């Protein structure tokens, strides 16, 4: 049984006191897990240290990492399990974005079509002159 490919965004905030090597190992383990489960990593954004909106574990900063993952969803469950037990991960969130992107594309196409239709009704005087010149030839 083949499952549908879905797109997820996984963001986690790592402890800012963690060594860069540990964060790199964490990223590599996520990549390895996704590929072994049959998914693919679309992109990784290493956002870096940022100030938190509120203190977490008496820390005011965190190290942000964003993954865009294409997969079936099985790998997401395992990643989340590992995030819960990992000491350097302060917070994480996974969001399925493929449905949102589809609806956004649909709305954009509808808006563009409507704008094109409106533009075809409104002709400037230059366009009208060009059309009459083309008709005369």
Tell me how far apart the alpha carbons of residues 90 and 94 are, in angstroms, rounded to a whole number: 14
Co-location of 33 and 92 in the same domain: yes
Please answer whether residues 94 and 79 qualify as being in contact, where contact means their C-beta atoms are separated by less than 8 angstroms.
yes
pLDDT single digits (tens) 67-107: 999 988 888 888 899 999 988 999 999 998 887 777 777 88
Co-location of 87 and 120 in the same domain: no
Which range marks the domain in which residue 46 is found? 6-96
Confidence of residue 11 (pLDDT cuts 50, 70, 90): very high
- Displacement of CA 87 from its chain's centroid (Å): 25
Please answer whether residues 6 and 96 qualify as being in contact, where contact means their C-beta atoms are separated by less than 8 angstroms.
yes
Work out how many domains the chain is built from and give that number: 2
% of the chain exceeding 70 in pLDDT = 85
Tell me how far apart the alpha carbons of residues 17 and 20 are, in angstroms, rounded to a whole number: 9
More confident residue, 118 or 16: 16
Determine the pLDDT at residue 122.
Answer: 65
Tell me how far apart the alpha carbons of residues 6 and 99 are, in angstroms, rounded to a whole number: 9
The enclosing domain of 12 has a CATH number of 3.30.70.60
Co-location of 17 and 54 in the same domain: yes
Question: Does residue 1 fall inside a structural domain?
Answer: no
Question: Does residue 78 fall inside a structural domain?
Answer: yes
Provide the total of helices (H) and of strands (E) in the chain, helices listed first: 4, 4
Tell me how far apart the alpha carbons of residues 28 and 51 are, in angstroms, rounded to a whole number: 25
% of the chain exceeding 90 in pLDDT = 29
Co-location of 63 and 29 in the same domain: yes
Co-location of 65 and 30 in the same domain: yes
pLDDT of residue 5 exceeding 90: no
Tokens at residue 56, please?
């977490």
Co-location of 108 and 85 in the same domain: no
């Amino acid at each position: 049984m083949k499952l549908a490919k879905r797109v997820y965004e996984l963001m986690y905030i790592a402890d800012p006191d963690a060594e860069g090597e540990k964060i790199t190992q964490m990223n590599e383990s996520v990549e390895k897990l996704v590929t072994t489960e049959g998914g693919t990593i679309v992109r990784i954004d290493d956002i870096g240290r940022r100030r938190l909106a509120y203190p977490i574990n008496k820390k005011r900063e965190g190290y942000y990492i964003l993954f865009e993952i294409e997969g079936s969803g099985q790998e997401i469950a395992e990643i989340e399990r590992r995030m819960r037990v990992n000491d350097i991960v302060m917070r994480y969130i996974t969001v399925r974005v493929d449905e949102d992107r589809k609806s956004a594309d649909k709305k954009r196409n509808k808006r563009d079509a409507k704008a094109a239709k409106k533009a075809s009704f409104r002709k400037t005087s230059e366009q009208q002159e060009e059309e009459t010149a083309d008709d005369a030839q």
